[in-house]
Amino acid sequence: MANNTVKLHRVFISTPEKVYRAFIESDAWTRWLPPKGFTAKIHEHNPIVGGTWRMSFTNFTTGNSHSFGGVYKALEPNKKVSYTAQFDTPALPGEMTTTVDIRPVSCGVEVNIVQEGIPEMIPVESCYLGWQESLQFLAAIVEPEIPDA
């Protein structure tokens, strides 16, 4: 986790298609990305290479929110998602890049996430913990196989 970077690895009992969709569909993204105690709202979302996105997280206890957004750098269906992110507050300067590699494995799908350029004001360990919570929420969306009635 050196150099303001977090690296995460997780295997889901799911498919590459479902995991990829969870990163590019607005309703899914806002459901699993915010860590415990936060809600999310999408303000803009254009999941194409070069397309922009913007969302906000709200602390459910205090009601305080912060917004951020960025640009999609790479989208390879069912294989890769990469996007930038910048906070709207000057107290959190810089641009982060998140890259998600998705690949099928014998028991489901392996996901490797690298987030680089985390602002100095954010403890990397806190970011890592937040991602771990988010990945639990992601599992709750992509792992169930619910057939249509």
Cα 124 to the center of its chain, rounded Å: 16
Angle, vertex CA 50, rays to CA 15 and CA 57, nearest 5:
70
pLDDT at 1 over 70: no
pLDDT grade, residue 37 (50/70/90)? Answer: very high
Give me the residue label for tokens 């000057």. Answer: 90
Q: What is the structure's pLDDT at 146?
A: 86
Distance between CA atoms of residues 114 and 44, nearest Å = 23
Q: What is the structure's pLDDT at 147?
A: 85
Query: Percentage of residues in the chain with pLDDT exceeding 70?
Result: 99
pLDDT grade, residue 33 (50/70/90)? Answer: very high
